[in-house]
Amino acid sequence: MIEPRLPPPAVSSLGELRASNWVSEPVKREMRRNLLGRIAAGRPIVDGVLGYDDTVLPSLEDAVIAGHDFILLGERGQAKSRIIRSLVGLLDEWVPAIAGSEINDDPYAPVSRHARDLVAEHGDDTPISWVHRSQRYGEKLATPDTSIADIIGEVDPIKVAEGRYLSDELTIHYGLVPRTNRGIFAINELPDLAERIQVGLLDVLEERDVQIRGHKVRLPLDVLLVASANPEDYTNRGRIITPLKDRFGARVRTHYPEDVVTEMTIVRQEARPIEGIGIRVEVPEFMAEIVARVSQLARRNARVSQRSGVSVRLSVANYETLAAASVRRAIRHGENEAVPRVSDLDALWSSTLGKLEIESLEEGEDDEIVQKLILGAILQTFRDRVPAEGLGNVVGGFEDGGIVHTGPDLPSAGYLAALEQIPALRAPAAAAAGSESPGVLASAIELILEGLHLSKRLNKESAGARATYRTRS
């Protein structure tokens, strides 16, 4: 395993730094060294990103090992920003810089006028400060109003007012890219950056010099450039200038979770728990699966815009909304346990409609699509989670005149009546629940009844939130 370097103790001057045998290296080589250490230790390049082990992460590792700038292509909600920000973990925890430098000047190869003058004046007595890796990361969301001043720099009027001449390089206030020298600079949604700003960015990264208000400044910056973009903007509309596009050595394509299990795992990892209310919140696996399947089905629905994508944030928001609906119901019934049920899924309209773009302008069609997504998710989950054996006896119990009422107006204990009326319901409900909790059992009963209805084996009559299940004959 390659051990990360630690800052030498009590090093505060250039002479002490030289005596400590500290060796300077480019940021890309530094990141490569630390990545190889991670690989040797069996650790992933980034932590907390799921579903990319065999697809995205290998390409990402190749890009870093090769020393390439790269761009992440993917629709919204595919963890692009999280991946980019996690790359900071590949930097050494501390690196030395010339004290007071705005651009983290390498003590052995200073770039800025300030640092060069300081070294020329003090030599080995030049003061050194240590920069934490969190300060070596810069990020900018590309917007049409982004300026050269934001990215590269501008003449600082305050410094001019203090008596410096406009021709003095020290009047320059550096922008984000120079301030990220010896670090990682990320641009989110790169195609939204105006072409003239893209040209300026290319100049500072490729040509190593820039012009700021008449100043021609040589800036041999040491920066890893990472960007993100929507695939459609990057490939079809041609909104990135060709020279800048050619600057990226690797293009890494992200994607949504490829299976329900991965989506469920991400949701449970990202969802904010409802705590400190005196009620235990438990979301059964089958209800979490329904939430994940809604997103999975939406990504295959021809009437949902796939250009905009269906973010994993939809699953997370729906999971949190579903839990909130169960808490609201539990409070009303004075219960100390909140467990989401199928009848709580009506709450998902509010968290779903704002995250889907429907390919239709007809009024009310968005509600219809959301309903079909939810019902499709319930049916698939029912078929996967509830064994077919024994369901015939459940349907037969209704043929003898059994009727079951469900809805958020019923407490969990109220579902015991369903088991008394339809005794055959007890075994499949207990198997689906996997728990003796009254709340989970009630949720499993609703899943089975709604699944049998959607399978056209039971009739369902709805009146508001209340539902009544009976035989179809």
Categorize the per-residue pLDDT at 402 as very low, low, confident or very high, splitting at 50, 70 and 90. Answer: confident
List of residues 6+ apart from 149 with CB closer than 8 A: 173, 175
Q: What is the mean pLDDT of residues 312-327?
A: 96
Residue 413 within a domain: yes
Whether the CB-CB separation of 224 and 91 falls below 8 Å is answered with no
Within a domain: 8: no
Residue 437 has pLDDT above 80, yes or no: yes
Could you tell me if residue 3 is inside a domain? no
Q: Name the domain boundary from 198, 222, 253.
A: 253
Measured CA to CA, the distance from residue 358 to residue 368 in angstroms comes to: 11
What is the full DSSP assignment across 199-237?
HHHHIIIII-EEEETTEEEE----EEEEEEE-HHHHHTS
Q: From the centroid of its chain, how far is CA 340?
A: 25
For residues 377 and 453, membership in a common domain is answered with yes
Residue type, 72: L
CATH number, residue 146 = 3.40.50.300
**137 in any annotated domain:** yes
Q: Examine residue 5 and state whether it is found in any structural domain, yes or no.
A: no
pLDDT band (50, 70, 90) for residue 173: confident
The one-character DSSP state at 4 is: P
Answer whether residue 9 is part of any domain.
no
- Decide if 95 contacts 130 (C-beta within 8 A): yes
266 and 249 part of one domain: no
Average pLDDT over every residue of 146-153: 82
Q: Which pLDDT band holds residue 154 (cuts at 50, 70, 90)?
A: confident
Q: What is the pTM of this model?
A: 0.85
Question: Within this chain, do residues 182 and 316 fall inside the same structural domain, yes or no?
Answer: no
Q: Which of 162-166, 287-291, 393-397 has the lowest mean pLDDT?
A: 162-166
Token pair 């040797």 is found at 40
| DSSP bridge pairs for 77 | none
User: In this predicted model, what pLDDT tens digit does every residue of 110-143 receive, in sequence order?
Assistant: 988 889 999 999 999 999 999 999 999 999 998 8
Range with the lowest mean pLDDT among 5-14, 181-190, 254-263, 420-429?
A: 5-14
Tell me whether residue 7 is in a domain. Answer: no
Boundary of a domain, candidates 253, 276, 308: 253
What's the pLDDT tens digit per position in 190-234? Answer: 888 888 888 878 877 776 656 666 556 667 889 999 999 988 777
Helices (H) and strands (E) in the chain, counts: 20, 16
How many domains is the chain partitioned into structurally? 2
Higher pLDDT, 161 or 86: 86
Token readout for 90 is 């590949």
Edge-to-edge strands, sheet with 459-463:
404-406, 466-470, 459-463
Whole-number mean pLDDT of the chain?
88
Instruction: Answer whether residue 63 shows pLDDT above 60.
Output: yes
Residue keyed to tokens 């920003």? 81
Domain that holds residue 59: 14-253
Position 359 scores a pLDDT of: 78
For 55-73, b/e burial (b = at least 16 CB within 10 A) is: ebbebbbebbeeebbbbbb
The pLDDT value recorded for residue 203 is 73
Based on the fold, state whether residues 286 and 235 are members of the same structural domain.
no
Same domain (yes/no): 214, 330: no
Question: CA-to-CA distance for 155 and 148, rounded, in angstroms?
Answer: 11
